[in-house]
Structure 1
C-alpha cells in the first residue's frame, strides 16, 4: 500500500532524475527545515496536493488557466505526477536543476492566457495568481502533515512558508505569504471571490476515479480525497461541490495511523532519500579533505 503511494513521489515517465547528484549541492529549501520533513510523507503529500488544487479551482482566474490549459482532463494522472515532481524538485532537488525547472515552467506559463466565462482576462504569470497558487500549495502540504502526521508548532508553520520563499520568487510569486499569519490574511482577502463551479465537481469525480493508486487501493484513494476536503478551509469547504464529502466518523484516526506508520517505514529510493545521500557526499568530501590536510601536516 505505501509502496504505491511512494511511487507517486518518483519522477513520472520521461522525467527521470537522480536527486543524489551532483554531490553536495544544496537545495532551494534547507535540509534541516520543516519542508524536508513535510514533503517526505507520501500520505500527507497526496492529501495536501489535492487540498491545494481544491483551493486553486475555487479561484475563477486560476481555475480557467488550470482547467482549460493545464491538462487535467486529458491525463489527470500525468498532470498530477508532473506537479508532484515539480514539488519534489523545488524542495529536494539540487539548486541549479531546480532553478532550470522553474525557469522552464515560467516560460510555459508565459503562453497561458485567456479569459474566464464572465470575461475576465487572466495570465498564468500574473503575480496575484502566482501568490495564490504558491500559498495554497504550502498550506495544503503543511496542514495535511500537521493534521495527520505530527502536530507542527506555530513557528514550524511559519518556517514552512518562509522556506518556500526562494522558489516562490523564482516562479514570480513576489507577494507570496512568508508566514502562517500572512497566509490567513491572503485567504481572508481572497475569500469573497472564491466560488463553486461545475469544474470543481468534475475534478472531484476525476481525482476519485483516476488510476492514481492500483485498483485494490481505490477505496484508500477515496479516503485520501475526503481527507483533503476535510482540511480545506472555509469558505471553500462548504461549497456545494464539497459539502458532505469530508471524512466520516473514525476515519481521521485511521488516516493518522496510516500516515504516522508511513513516517516510520523506510522511504525506499525516493527523492528525499536521494537528496539526503547527495548532501552526505558533501560531508564525506569535506571529511576526506580534512584528513588529507591533516596527513600533509603530519608529513
Structure 2
C-alpha cells in the first residue's frame, strides 16, 4: 500500500507530534540522526524497522505487553513497587517508548550504552510479591518473559491491525528482537513463533489476576499518552490491546468487558493502516533512515 502524500510542512507537524510520543522523554533525549553513518542494532531492511514505525500499533502492542507482564507476580510487583507509574505515568510511558525506539533505530553505541544503564538499574530491583515470593528484576526467567511479551505485543499488534505479516516475517521479527534481548540478559527470549508458543505454555500457570491490572487500565484510559488528535481513540486502542491476549487469559484476568467490539476493530484497523502510510519525518524511524544514508521517507516508500 502506497504512502499517503501530504505537503511536507504538514508531514513535519504530524511527525513532530508522533515523535513526541515515540522519541522523547525527560532526561533521555537522543538525536536519532547522529552520528551520521552509524548503524543500529538491527538492519534498516529488518522486519522490526517496518513494524516499529507505526505509532498506533506501538501503543496497542506496548499496552498488551504490559498486561502480560502484570499478570506475572514477580514482574507485576517489580514494576508497581519500584517505578513511578502510579504518580507519573506519562513520563514512565515515554521513557519506555524511547527505550524501544533506541533499541531498534538508535545508533548502536548509544543503544548499547542505554541498555547497560537499564541493566544496572534493574540490579537494584528486588523484593517480595504480594503472594510472598521473592523476586529480582534480573532473574533470567523474568527477563525472558518481559522480552517475550514486548515482542509478542508489538508484532501481533502490527500483524492484527496494520499489515498482515507472514509466518516467516513473524519468525524473522522475533529473531531480530532476540538480538536486543540478549543485551538485556534475556538469553532465553523466543526466536520464533513456535518458541513463543512454548514459552506461553510454560508461563501459563504463573499468570494470575490482580487489582493492579484494572488500576493500570484505568490510568491508561486517562493519561494523555497520545497526541491530542488521537486521544478520542485511546480507550478503543486499549480494547485493541486487551484483544491481542489469548482468549483464556482474557477470561482469567477478568478483562472480558475490555474486548474490542467488531465495529471498533474495523475502526482500529483503518486508523492503524492509515498511520502505517503517513511518513513521520520528524520521528525516530525517519531520522534513523537519514543517519544511515537513506531518504527520510524510505520506510514508507519501500512497500509501495
Tell me the matched-pair count: 282
| Counterpart position of 2:77 | 64
Cα 1:164–1:232 change in 2 (3 A) is: same
Q: Does 1:181 align with 2:175?
A: no
Q: Does 1:127 align with 2:129?
A: no
1:236 Cα deviation after fit: 2.4
- C-alpha offsets along residues 51-98 of structure 1, whole Å, 9 cap, x if unaligned? 000000000111010111122112111101100000000000011101
| Counterpart position of 1:90 | 103
1:41 Cα deviation after fit: 0.3
Q: Does 1:219 align with 2:232?
A: yes
Cα 1:247–1:2 change in 2 (3 A) is: farther
| Counterpart position of 1:18 | 31
State the TM-score, normalizing by the size of structure 1.
0.90
| Counterpart position of 1:238 | 251
Contact 2:21 2:227 in 1 (8 A): no
- Distance in 2 between the 1:215 and 1:157 partners? 32
Contact 2:208 2:253 in 1 (8 A): no
Instruction: In structure 2, list runs of 5 or more residues that go unmatched.
Output: 1-12, 295-304
Contact 1:201 1:241 in 2 (8 A): no
Following superposition, which runs of at least 4 residues in structure 1 exceed 6 angstroms of deviation? none
| Counterpart position of 1:284 | none
- Distance in 1 between the 2:64 and 2:277 partners? 24
| Counterpart position of 1:116 | 129
Contact 2:161 2:268 in 1 (8 A): yes
- Distance in 2 between the 1:165 and 1:21 partners? 25
- Distance in 2 between the 1:70 and 1:267 partners? 31
State the TM-score, normalizing by the size of structure 2.
0.89
- Distance in 2 between the 1:12 and 1:189 partners? 35
**2:210 paired residue among 197, 210, 218:** 197
- Distance in 2 between the 1:207 and 1:123 partners? 26
| Counterpart position of 2:173 | 160
- C-alpha offsets along residues 221-240 of structure 1, whole Å, 9 cap, x if unaligned? 11111100111124322234
Give 1 or 2 for the bigger CA radius of gyration. Answer: 1
1:175 Cα deviation after fit: 0.6
Cα root mean square deviation, aligned: 1.7
Aligned to 1:23, the other structure's residue is in SS state coil
